[in-house]
Amino acid sequence: MITGITYQSKKPDASLAHWIESFWLLANITDEEKTISILPDGRIDLFFSKTATEPFHVVLLGLENSMSSTIIAPRTLTFAVSFKLLGAEYVLKQSVAPLLNGGMRLPNDFWEMEVADIDNFDACCNKVSQKIKTLLNQEPDPRKLALFNLIYDNNGDLPVNEMASKVHWTSRQINRYFNQWFGLSLKAYCNILRFRASFAQIKAGKFFPELNFADQAHFIRTVKKYAGVAPKALNKNKNDRFIQFSTLPKK
């Protein structure tokens, strides 16, 4: 982990598992800027942040389909909610398609959050969880639940036509839904999940494909497409620049 950066995460309770992947807290406890690289990971992130120079602010980030770099300002504290895709429709109740590779500022009092809330990670998780439960006032479409269970349970490693057949929803309708709500096709999203699923094996020094890649050359091309570097460079993670690798739990 980058010197001066602290990180902790927590899974939601089972009642929120369809919509929320995790809660996490990231802090730069130093007086220096920290430059990090963000890899596409298939999540929608809601940030509640404060820094030494900027007041409390709230930002919603959409999906990413390429690596990006950002700077963590000195004395930054960020509490984040990482959503699964169904969270856009049923919790946030808005399309994140316009936010592909981008984000938007939200009102500072979004969800009635206050700057003091993010100082206590567990209490903040509880407050946000209770708020999310009050927003879940619509029964989810069973086809969508079934589709996303297939997607996440298999790390995107099923053909689109097979998933469509299993949930009795046409590929065309599914892709229309994905493009309308998330800004990319189902296949493109599954490719991101397959890339993300390779993080642990790459960190362990395994540079051959373990998921449904045609061959090692295909695997390397995919990693380069999303990370901007080959698997071996990703494994080295020079200067801990790839934050998702730095925060992966040790086996």
The beta-carbon contacts of 172-180 under 8 Å, at least 24 apart in sequence, are 174/147, 177/144, 179/97, 180/95, 180/97
Q: What is the pLDDT of residues 42-93, one digit of tens each?
A: 999 999 999 988 889 999 999 999 999 999 999 999 999 999 999 999 999 9
pLDDT of residue 207: 83
CATH number of 5-135: 2.60.120
- Return the domain boundaries, the chain: 5-135, 141-191, 198-251
Using alpha carbons, select from 223, 182, 172 the residue that is nearest to residue 94.
Answer: 182
Using alpha carbons, select from 173, 235, 158, 242 the residue that is nearest to residue 202.
Answer: 235
> pTM of the full predicted structure?
0.93
For residue 219, how far is the Cα from the chain centroid? Answer: 21
Segment (H or E) for 27: strand 20-28
pLDDT of residue 249: 66
d(Cα 233, Cα 227) in Å, to the nearest integer? 10
Pair 190, 228: CB distance under 8 Å: no
What is each CA distance from 1 to 6, 9, 243, 245, in whole angstroms?
Answer: 8, 14, 8, 9
Share of the chain above pLDDT 90, in %: 78
- Residue 20: band (very low, low, confident or very high) from pLDDT cuts 50, 70, 90: very high
| Per-residue pLDDT at 250 exceeds 70 | no
Q: What is the pLDDT of residues 126-139, one digit of tens each?
A: 999 999 999 999 99
pLDDT of residue 248: 73
**Residue 136 token pair:** 């879940």
d(Cα 68, Cα 172) in Å, to the nearest integer? 30
Tokens 């006032």 belong to residue: 137
Strands of 51-166 (E only): list them: 57-61, 68-72, 76-83, 103-106
pLDDT of residue 224: 93
**For 204-208, 227-231, 247-251, which range has the lowest pLDDT when averaged over its residues?**
247-251
**Residue 208 token pair:** 């051959």
125-152 burial code (b ≥16 CB/10 A, e <16): bebbbeebeeeeeeeeeebbeebbebbb
Look at residue 93 and give its three-state secondary structure.
coil
User: What's at 6, amino acid-wise?
Assistant: T
Pair 155, 193: CB distance under 8 Å: yes
pLDDT of residue 216: 85
**Residue 12 token pair:** 């939601």
pLDDT of residue 217: 86
| Per-residue pLDDT at 251 exceeds 60 | no
Q: What is the pLDDT of residues 148-157, one digit of tens each?
A: 999 999 999 9
Q: Distance from first CA to last CA of the chain, Å, rounded?
A: 15
DSSP tally for the chain: helices H, then strands E: 10, 8
| Per-residue pLDDT at 107 exceeds 80 | yes
